[in-house]
Amino acid sequence: MSRSSLGKIWFVGAGPGDPELITVKGRNLLAQAGAVLFAGSLVDQAATQYAPPGCLIRDSKDMTLEEMTAWLMEQAQQHPTVVRLQTGDPGLYGALIEMTRPLSAAGIEWAVVPGVSSAMAAMAAAGESMTLPEVTQSVILTRVEGRTPMPPGEDLAALAAHRTTLCIFLSITLLHKVQAGLRAAGWPEDAPMLVVHKASWPNEEKIVRGTLADIRQRCREAGIVSQAMIVASPTLGARDWETLARSKLYDPAFTHRFRKATA
């Protein structure tokens, strides 16, 4: 079969869970898809509500990587548009490269549509900001070591030493390791912590606030054992601080190309 007769496979980020947080482009692709392979263990099935009647919809939660790739390749021989619907953003903690290498080798065209990460959704749910002037201007997206080892230099203690915002994925069952890593980096016991379970999922979202000392116990009491974003950041709780450093961009004494200083 020639490349021109094969369909195109789109890896679409479904976002963090709320079906309305998928991008307009992602929704439009679903609306024209002939086949959709969605991550049922993570993506709310409601996200497939945008697929047209007659679309072949398959849940991938019981499939191996090889089976998923084979399914996508088979559907690309039958449909112009095939969608792999993934949680969050396809390029973050997904198997994007592993899945697309065989597609490229087979001459099948593919592309990626980014999605809203659960890190952003968690902070939005809690009304928090990842960055603040003169507090931190950096965000680290990471995880702690489980069955997948961390590369040298990327253990949590090393990253936490920067004292910036840490969004920690895939680690709620390893919260004791998170605490150990932060303590090894010198974070105090009263450092604020945030855990958001199923950020943006309608009727399922849970928000837990605590400190390095008690966040694990608070999560136990809330029954959070899966699908949670852990955030450690010096910005947490800033909306209740007495004073904040002002953003220079919006300061009346600051001149930029769109506005002259007025004070």
Does residue 237 carry a pLDDT above 70? yes
- Extents of the domains making up the chain: 3-113, 118-237
Query: pLDDT tens for residues 47-73?
Result: 889 999 999 999 999 999 999 999 999
For the chain, the first-to-last Cα distance in angstroms comes to: 69
Say whether 118-237 and 3-113 share the same fold.
Answer: no
The confidence band for 251, taking pLDDT boundaries of 50, 70 and 90, is confident
pTM for the whole structure = 0.91
257 pLDDT higher than 60: yes
**In the prediction, which pLDDT does 146 show?**
84
Query: What CATH number has the domain spanning 3-113?
Result: 3.40.1010.10
In this predicted structure, the answer to whether residue 1 has a pLDDT above a threshold of 50 is no
pLDDT-derived band at 4, boundaries 50, 70, 90: low
- Is 3.30.950.10 the CATH number for 118-237? yes
β-bridge pairing 192-197 and 206-211? antiparallel
So what's the pLDDT on residue 117?
A: 97
State percent of the chain over pLDDT 70. Answer: 98
Q: Residue 3: pLDDT above 60?
A: no
Average pLDDT of the chain?
A: 94
Strand partners, 194: 209, 231
What's the pLDDT tens digit per position in 94-106? 999 999 999 999 9
Asked if 233 and 169 touch (Cβ cutoff 8 Å), the reply is no
Most confident of 20-34, 40-54, 244-258: 20-34
pLDDT above 90 covers what percent of the chain? 84
Q: What is the pLDDT of residue 263?
A: 65
pLDDT at 175 over 90: yes
Q: Please name the residues in contact with 224: beta carbons below 8 A apart, sequence gap of 6 or more.
A: 172, 195, 197, 206, 208
Q: What is the pLDDT of residues 127-174, one digit of tens each?
A: 999 999 999 999 999 999 888 889 999 999 999 999 999 999 999 999
Q: Of 1-10, 43-52, 68-77, where does mean pLDDT reach its minimum?
A: 1-10
pLDDT at 246 (0 to 100): 83
